[in-house]
Structure 1
């Protein structure tokens, strides 16, 4: 008889189940980031966006999954996500779409301040949109869906390498497909291309090298109270709409809200004065003793609803698509809330300590 292999070489019980759980979480994040970033936003006003779904899944999904995995491995938490999320946005809009510099792409040069060959209003708007809707919100939802994997890697080293390669392919795909179609023949000046690469590297160094040494855990403040969940939802909905309408025309049309009543320079300042306090107040709420999953649901719902409504004035078709999208968003957010409540009230399995 052949001797049995040593115990140490046998797969541990439940190893395949854990690997499957991690794979499900990774795919969930890939789908969530594409859904939040484009399918409930740009696709409302531009339904043809669905044609690009395979490319979007690679670019958004692999890109944000890579960001999340690098941050988890470095242990930088939400600050690392913010910094590396900005790097991700620069790679997408600066290197891929080339929309940060193009004078013709999307008409972005006409939306606000353009100086030194850069569409500054568009850049600021996309930092907010992609940081929140492409990175932070999908990661938050994935953490709620897979709480056991919060702060843990979804991928092994090989999977991380493949994800990184796909993220690069996604950026190149944007340049070869979207940029070449929307603004054929345009190429970002080499000086700005090098500048974006340096900025991405610098942000990556800060997120993965500097922040891990300075991170301090966010503790719960017993003397601090968050408002009711409905108030959280209203504030997130209002401030999201205020940020978007300050920098972008409703439905990505031709006219900005309030027209010439605000100068392009003031719009940049006003948008920052909306976004930064919003981030600050969410941080305060998160540390409140009564902050709950219900608050998180309303926060997520407020942002999603607002950014979909923003696209609906584009046309009657967009309004109809937007209404359907809003209904689906509310159904999914409510389903997520029920799933979380059911998980919290489920009896512990027999033998659980």
Structure 2
């Protein structure tokens, strides 16, 4: 499963999160519109699935281990009704908002629910120790910078879980030296009508829509994180792992790293074997010719870092409000790769799996169609 590493300011915050089995990001107050960092946070929550691991990061140390759980078929919620609208509720009494969380402010807009799996150990693991324990597995942890939390894939999650368990083997066997947990708050949430607290991308898109277009690319990312995780009816299908802003360049100063808008993979049904990788480049307006070079840069990156020479594992998409004939011609001309598959015999193959997807915002929903 995937994993989430949440940044906290102190151990008291960690104690509260583990005791209640909840985590909520404290967002800045919106000023009439959602900003990119708000929409990015919603996108991260929308990609969460029950069973994903959760960890906490405090002053160089990583604490774990927990897993997201389902309450009334959801593992993430709005903290209060209307929390997904860019309205300043800070001057309203917090209790009047009827929040799910006892402690917090109006800026705790959404939350996820989890339980220890197996324990949240008092003994945290230094970040350098984690990175050195399995260097080839860690990608996103190395790029953790100026964010509330990050998402890691199955391989990185397993590597992080391994080092925390190895450093706490005696505590695990003795079932001790762990932060206390109670399901009291979970049971209270379970007794509520949680349908009205359901987190979707609808209001996030609506807040930045103009006609049938969306003015913020990050809002489209949030919607795709939701759609591609849950809905098999889109032209891109359903994917077992979806994340956004995944690094796609050699490690360098974080602010200069390339990042894929959407990255994902799916398994062979019934197995934990990855069969396909996904990359999506998003343009809120009509796509220009340079998007072709951009998507192919990411395709080549995935081939080298994940697919190891097998282009047939990669499915690439460009999502935009429209495509000119020039972009279509350039796609047909340049989105091609020749490669060899196998050894005895070696098979010459041609890859050309880039598709153009036009989006429209209709009836408060993001509609996608291949062109």
Q: Taking structure 2 as the reference length, what is the TM-score of the superposition?
A: 0.27
Structure with the higher helix share, 1 or 2: 1
The structure in which a higher percent of residues are strand is: 2
Q: Which has the higher contact order (CA 8 A, sep 6+)?
A: 1
